[in-house]
Amino acid sequence: MDSLEIKGGKKLSGEVKISGSKNSALPLIASTILSKNLLNIRNIPDVVDIKTLVKLLKMLGAEENFSSNQLKIDTTKIDKTIATYDIVKTMRASILVLGPLLARFGHCQVSLPGGCAIGSRPVDLHLKALRKMGAVIEIKNGYIQALAKDGLKGGDILFEKKTVTGTENLVMAGALAKGVTTLRNCAIEPEVIQLCEVIRDAGVDITGIGTETIQIVGTDKQLLDFQDIKVIPDRIEAGTYLCAGAITNSKITLKSVEPKHIESIIEKLESMGFTFRIKKSEVTIFPTDKILPTNLITAEYPLFPTDMQAQFTALATQSEGESKIEENLFENRFMHVNELQRLGADIKIDKSVVQIDGKTELFGADVMATDLRASSALVLAGLVAKGVTTVHRIYHLDRGYENLDKKLNLLGADVRRINSKL
């Protein structure tokens, strides 16, 4: 397995271009199952999760060409409706093919998904909602077996809790359903908004985009006329690079970013003493005389994202004082703490809260990535640790960050990818 070797203590400077959003590209790719035409999707990050989903659609019968951050895809010849365990086990977002496959074909089998081990993310909300649209669903031999013999029917659906992938799946299902589908308590993340806008532009009558109540007038199995798409910038990648600038107390500039999508991250960094220059698609972070401690609580968008919790835990080790971070969305998302402690961090866990006592001098060591965002937190800590930090099992990192090592090196870091044949 590959690993990253990081020599700490380097100041960063310069500019970094933010890639397209993985979490937006994935549902957009899944939505092409609803398309009656070939289309291009631009600004797609070249990461493992994207390649996995493209491979899945190809196995279903799609034709594709993915190069230079652009995907040309034709799903009109899809003739298979089984998403097999071998591929779905590696990525939880594979569940996103459930809604569009069922809506288009009236039947499908999708393996129960895998992915990062950060806690329970049940698909029950997806299944309950699809049943309200007339689907007959059972779990058998590790597969979700879904049948809507006469097609999906519009319905009034209330999500018991906000769910990003659940909202996305049901928006896609509702697009080809018969009648009107009303979704309540929807997630309002930018990635959800882009999916709704793309399906609207493909000819579906959708209202309430960007709100917690979305109404969809389905086409009754009529495939959609998709337009070419440009994926929005990755707000979590942007936040991670802002944390790289912050933890090294350096001035760096993010290019091709959407400032509005990262307002909660910028506000939290401002409370820690950092200042910013913000333009239309550019954000510059400036160093501070003193990194202040922070208290933060993860929550659904537009509040502080759970996907930035690990990075801020690493950053808090370099603040002057005691910080507290509360994780409200996933019950097992502090696995990076033990690895940060190996570097010398003073962190205590009490159920869903971590307390970080800073400022702590970190020292290089061998550490192991446990999930996607934990991986980036260890890289951030390695940037300021004395000596060499080696982050193992970075296949997690490669699932969601495009060329992280190369981008950091362009900013002045000393990061080396080590290829292992073991």
Is 116 designated active site? yes
Return the SS3 of 156: strand
CA dist 34 → 13, 78, 147, 324, 385 (Å)? 44, 10, 17, 45, 49
Length of the chain: 422
Q: What's the maximum distance between 2 C-alpha atoms anywhere in the chain?
A: 65
Of 335, 308, 330, 333, which Cα lies nearest the Cα of 234?
A: 308
| Dihedral of the alpha carbons of 239, 240, 244, 246, in degrees to the nearest 10 | 30
The structure tokens listed for 21 are: 């959003």
Of 411, 416, 413, which Cα lies nearest the Cα of 17?
A: 411
Of 218, 352, 314, which Cα lies nearest the Cα of 6?
A: 314
Distance CA 336, CA 355 (A): 13
List the catalytic residue out of 108, 116, 186, 196: 116
* Residue 218: CB atoms within 10 Å: 23
Of 224, 255, 284, 231, which Cα lies nearest the Cα of 104?
A: 224
Q: Are 252 and 245 in contact (CB under 8 A)?
A: yes
CA dist 195 → 104, 167, 188, 206, 324 (Å)? 17, 10, 11, 11, 35
Distance CA 23, CA 194 (A): 11
**Which residues carry out catalysis?**
116
